[in-house]
Structure 1
Amino acid sequence: MNLITPTIVLAILLSLILSIFQSHNTKKSLMVLFLISLVPINPLLNNNELTLSLTPLIMTPTENINISFTLDTLSLLFMPIALFITWSITEFSTWYMNTDPHSNKFMKYLLTFLITMMVIITANNMYQLFIGWEGVGIMSFLLIGWWHGRQDANTAALQAIIYNRIGDIGLIMTTAWLMAWSSINMQELMAQHEMINIIPIAGLLAAATGKSAQFSLHPWLPSAMEGPTPVSALLHSSTMVVAGVFLLIRLHPILHNNTTMTTLCLLLGATTTMFAAAAATTHLDIKKIIALSTTSQLGLMMTMVGLNQPTLAFLHMITHSFFKAMLFLCSGSYIHNLNNEQDIRMMGGLLKTMPMTSSFLTIANFSLMGMPFLSGFYSKDTIIETLINSHTNSWVIMITVIATILSACYSTQIMLTTMTGYPRIRHNTHNEPKTIINPLTRLMLTSILMGTLTKTSTLQTTTMTTMPKSIKLMALIATIMGVLLSKDLSHTTYHLKPKKLNKQNLFFNQLAFFNIPHRAITMNTLKASQQMTTELMDLWTMENWGPKGLSNTLTPAIHLSTQQKNMIKNYMTMFTTSMALALIIILI
């Protein structure tokens, strides 16, 4: 079995690379690869770990750089999930991108995106991880800016790449430090168990903050919604944004004893969870609401990394990827059928006109809220229980519970506004073909069953944790409270006239005014550069060194060299003298 697993993984990676050149069979290839990738999970449940290294490509005095794969719980479990979700998204894309003239190129980009994520999850050294890390960034840039004729799409793509480059400085710093003082090989690195120096760990946190859009580097994620909906689905579920948290989970052994690092993770994660959930309640663009909910869930994962529970963070990453992909695909189905309308206020009565999509959206939203026995419940509920049973930080517990209430609020808001009431837009006939129903059905089944399957397969003997009923039911109470509050709020404000956002709403809506620098800094820079060119260059430099400077230089010379001063005596004297001199010269 030890030989079978690496062979299968290598075959999957090679098949994916070959699929790029045969994009017409992408859906079938991904389906087969997903089924094959399920095979190595069986021995994995016995906690086996394999490493596959090729001969060194570059030999240096300190490091031998080679292609090396690590096949452990994280990589072998996440691989079929990424393949399954990409399979569903590519099938959906055949319908969504049907009218796009470059749909084949789009499929190739999606596949390349998946391959770069595979490189990250199977990398056994920092170089390989860095290649995948940058590859994911480049592909997100190309896919977010897919409709590059739109100015907003170009801006969003640039925003994504710039914010990620800020985070990448941290990863480069960590890699450089490890090359100089430790090892870039994962096994050798983790054998040290704990890292005393804060520099590489701070670099990892910065990298994860950028890639997973944690607070302070978060504004690029809602802006990334300018890309096509299948891109958003893939970006938010199983690639790109989970890469940051995945990095921290993978390298958790070196940072779990560093209290400064874990505390920072905890505070950053809790702040992001609460802030993004509050921001989502103020937005009205369906894709932006779902995007901010991703940031909120990533904050929860980060909180678990801070609590030294990387396995729980990984469990939430797995369950979240299914229902988040389903949420995006359902919103894509709505948007495409409503002539690209994304404002939830313009939707309505969709439960009657698009029953299948609405049913799937409801299941996905319930899973996101953490309703009992859906997959989100098994991870989200466990996270909140772990947090409440921990004696680390009561502020974090309070913030996370508030975030749970808010997440129930915006999920209910989406459902009530889009599905109930009457249609508020003139739209074409709604169609729900097989190409969208099949992938959504698959994702719906996994969103319901994934939690139960994980529980039955991995937790044969569970540890007994005793706690009061109120604490055990805390997450559920918070969720129900959020649903009721949202329902009441929508009923009370339904007939009110629209008002200007108050300061609090504006603060969250503009992502803590992080959007203002994008406008203010650019405008001020443009104005300053304009003033410099007009006032300094035109009015001063060109004037002083150009015509005026030339005249100022030449005038004294003219005055020196000429005798034209309107004095007749001078003229006569000069004339007589010159004539006399001429006569003398001739006579001589």
Structure 2
Amino acid sequence: MMSTLLLTIFMSLFLSILTTSTKESTNPNHTKHTLMAMFVISLIPLNLTLNCENETALSLQPTINLGTMDIKINFTLDTLSLTFVPIALFITWSIVEFSMWYMKTDPNLNKFIKYLLTFLIAMLIIITANNMFQLFIGWEGVGIMSFLLIGWWYARSDANSAALQAIIYNRIGDIGLIMTTAWLMTSTSLNFQELPMQNEAVIPLIGLIAAATGKSAQFGLHPWLPAAMEGPTPVSALLHSSTMVVAGVFLLMRLHSFMQNDNMLTACLILGATTTLFAATSAITQHDIKKIIALSTTSQLGLMMTMIGLNQPKLAFLHMATHSFFKALLFLCSGSFIHNLDNEQDIRKMGGLNQTMPMTSSMITIASLTLMGMPFLSGFYSKDTIIETMTSSYTNSWALTMTLLATMLSASYSMRIINFTLTHFPRTKHKTHQETKTLTSPLLRLTLGSIFAGTLTKLSTLQTTSIITMPMTIKLSALTITTLGVLLSMDLLLMSTHQTPKKPKTLNLFFNQLAFFNTLHRNMPMKTFKFSQHISTEMLDLWTLENYGPKGLSNSTIHAIHTTTQQKNLIKNYLTTFSLTSILTTIIFFSL
């Protein structure tokens, strides 16, 4: 029955794409209703999974016959896939409905919704794939759809640059996935069930970490994620919540039994801890509301990577599930603010929005509190459990320190958004549009998800944790550090409000420019291009072709010319001599 329901979801989404007309007059409401129905259907296999963690595999006839193996379409229905499919459908349903309000003036709204649905299908392929070949199809699918959606407003050069940046950075990570796939084809099998539990080979594991680093924007390949904010806000919401960026971390969760190598797990731990602190610190220095939320996503992905490094993939998945709700809500609320302020994204120019947009203000406050990990909201159940697990682990106290600092900074930049956008007086002209049902319905749904998703997970059998005894100070460490971050943000706001503007310090500029990785990654290709241009034009054209081409041919005939005639082509000298001779002859003739 679960297999039938999964195929029903896929077929319905495909038919929805095929039947959506590109005409402007078409009402995209049927796509919203299809997603709503598919979400309800996807809850049925999830309900069956809550009571027993049985794994079901659905295999079709072999698609490609090789000499050593048969590649076939193979779906896996386990806790990971059956839990995340409803989340992806629920969030896409809300984002599509929000897009009908946000993009209603766009002449290609139906094409935009088609792209969103294709994006969702590619992510569902990744979630349910049971072999590397099928996963690679979804992997490339989300990559090309992110390129098309980030560059949706292609008339803007920044949007084109951001789309190219996203696809190139992801291509770097794809090299690692291709390397791992090639290694698996030559050594074991592409099917996940047939992978060895204990793996001694390092090359495929390095490829997996490189793939996750590129797709999930870990430190080193992180600049594309804030740059992707050039796309429409619904794209940012879908990209950062339940598709694309979580695919890299999900890959490591899916193949975690294959990654039982201490050195590789340590690499994941170091990479995740570095990413979560660096991104949180960079978010403090930004002023674009969408870039702050984007760097927040990078920080949370680093937290998930840290959990994978600590050999806790279930906790990483729990945080990925709860993170999807409040991150989508944050982006949609920021999109509502941007639309209200005539496309203004600088939080320093906002203010007083709690008066003009009370519902959106309440919802972004709830989303920010969930991101902080305030008790009894969904983020609390995953974030607090992660920090408790790190506290009770003897693996690495350095990673714990980095995570606690990132938690404090996440509370700080969340409060910074609330203070600058909602409180005080308006700093720019507000466009007083009514908060209609089309706007508030998806936001309200995501708000309920942000509040109750963690509680429902806690009440279900998905999270069966052992009772750990620990001192009260350690138990309250996450809440304490979050409260400290809130107080720090309020203190900095009160201190800096009445100060005269100062020149940014070097450290501030360092984090604001994302450690200058953008400059570094653009300068190296530019230097290579300039050097190649110098070689091809100046050295090859001006030197080689000139010396051995026309000029060399001309020089080779000079000696032969000199042996046959006294003329040496010195025209100016000949003309001067002729003129002087004529003048002297004329003077002598007239003097006689």
Q: State whether structure 2 residue 16 is matched by structure 1 residue 19.
A: yes
1:194 is matched with 198
Change (3 A) 1:548 1:399: same
Change (3 A) 1:238 1:560: same
CA distance in 2, matches of 1:476, 1:451: 16
CA distance in 1, matches of 2:423, 2:557: 83
Query: Structure 1 residues 368-377 or 515-524, which shifts more?
Result: 515-524
CA distance in 2, matches of 1:34, 1:539: 67
Residue identity matched to 1:72: D
Alignment of 1:81-120 (within 5 A): 81-120=87-126
Deviation track 1:237-289 (CA, whole Å, cap 9, x = no partner) reads 0000000110111111111x311111111111111111100010010010000
CA distance in 2, matches of 1:231, 1:560: 79
2:80 is matched with 74
2:133 is matched with 127
2:46 is matched with 41
| Unmatched 5+ stretches in structure 2 | 21-27, 570-592
SS in 2 for 1:340: coil
Residue identity matched to 1:409: S
* 1:337–1:431 CA contact under 8 A, matched in 2: no
* 1:236–1:324 CA contact under 8 A, matched in 2: yes
* 1:125–1:186 CA contact under 8 A, matched in 2: yes
Aligned residue pairs: how many?
560
| Aligned pair partner of 2:5 in 2, 5, 8 | 8
SS in 1 for 2:507: helix
| Unmatched 5+ stretches in structure 1 | 567-588
Deviation track 1:471-499 (CA, whole Å, cap 9, x = no partner) reads 00000000000000000101110122332
Deviation track 1:285-311 (CA, whole Å, cap 9, x = no partner) reads 100000000000011111111111111
1:328 is matched with 331
| Aligned pair partner of 1:347 in 341, 350, 354 | 350
CA RMSD in angstroms comes to 1.8
| Aligned pair partner of 1:204 in 193, 197, 208 | 208
2:558 is matched with 555
CA distance in 1, matches of 2:333, 2:362: 9
Tell me the TM-score normalized by structure 1: 0.92
Residue identity matched to 2:216: S
Q: State whether structure 2 residue 489 is matched by structure 1 residue 486.
A: yes
CA distance in 1, matches of 2:212, 2:385: 23
SS in 1 for 2:76: strand
2:477 is matched with 474
Query: Structure 1 residues 327-336 or 528-537, which shifts more?
Result: 528-537
Alignment of 1:218-233 (within 5 A): 218-233=222-237
Tell me the TM-score normalized by structure 2: 0.92
State the Cα distance separating 1:521 from its structure 2 match: 2.9
* 1:350–1:423 CA contact under 8 A, matched in 2: yes
State the Cα distance separating 1:519 from its structure 2 match: 4.1
Alignment of 1:394-405 (within 5 A): 394-405=397-408
Alignment of 1:100-179 (within 5 A): 100-179=106-185
State the Cα distance separating 1:337 from its structure 2 match: 1.3
* 1:33–1:83 CA contact under 8 A, matched in 2: yes
SS in 2 for 1:410: helix
SS in 2 for 1:331: helix
Change (3 A) 1:523 1:171: closer
CA distance in 1, matches of 2:428, 2:407: 32
Residue identity matched to 1:361: I
Change (3 A) 1:299 1:540: same
Query: Structure 1 residues 221-230 or 549-558, which shifts more?
Result: 549-558
State the Cα distance separating 1:545 from its structure 2 match: 5.1
CA distance in 1, matches of 2:365, 2:382: 19
State the Cα distance separating 1:552 from its structure 2 match: 2.1
Deviation track 1:136-175 (CA, whole Å, cap 9, x = no partner) reads 1111111111111111111111111111111111111111
State the Cα distance separating 1:523 from its structure 2 match: 4.5
Change (3 A) 1:529 1:459: closer
CA distance in 2, matches of 1:401, 1:354: 34
CA distance in 1, matches of 2:209, 2:473: 34
State the Cα distance separating 1:21 from its structure 2 match: 1.8
Change (3 A) 1:179 1:539: closer
Query: Structure 1 residues 522-531 or 144-153, which shifts more?
Result: 522-531
2:576 is matched with none
Alignment of 1:486-505 (within 5 A): 486-505=489-508
Residue identity matched to 2:316: A
* 2:562–2:568 CA contact under 8 A, matched in 1: no
Alignment of 1:198-277 (within 5 A): 198-255=202-259, 257-277=260-280
| Aligned pair partner of 2:319 in 297, 316, 319 | 316
CA distance in 1, matches of 2:568, 2:272: 86
State the Cα distance separating 1:234 from its structure 2 match: 0.3
2:34 is matched with 29
Query: Structure 1 residues 383-392 or 39-48, which shifts more?
Result: 39-48
Q: State whether structure 2 residue 254 is matched by structure 1 residue 282.
A: no
Provide runs of 4+ in structure 1 moved above 6 Å: 563-566
State the Cα distance separating 1:312 from its structure 2 match: 0.6
* 1:245–1:302 CA contact under 8 A, matched in 2: yes
Deviation track 1:488-528 (CA, whole Å, cap 9, x = no partner) reads 10111012233222121112111112122144335434544
Residue identity matched to 1:92: F
* 2:372–2:411 CA contact under 8 A, matched in 1: yes
CA distance in 1, matches of 2:211, 2:251: 9
SS in 1 for 2:155: coil
Residue identity matched to 1:19: S
| Aligned pair partner of 1:182 in 185, 188, 211 | 188
CA distance in 1, matches of 2:541, 2:202: 52
CA distance in 1, matches of 2:548, 2:101: 64
SS in 2 for 1:498: coil
Q: State whether structure 2 residue 426 is matched by structure 1 residue 420.
A: no
State the Cα distance separating 1:199 from its structure 2 match: 1.4
2:582 is matched with none
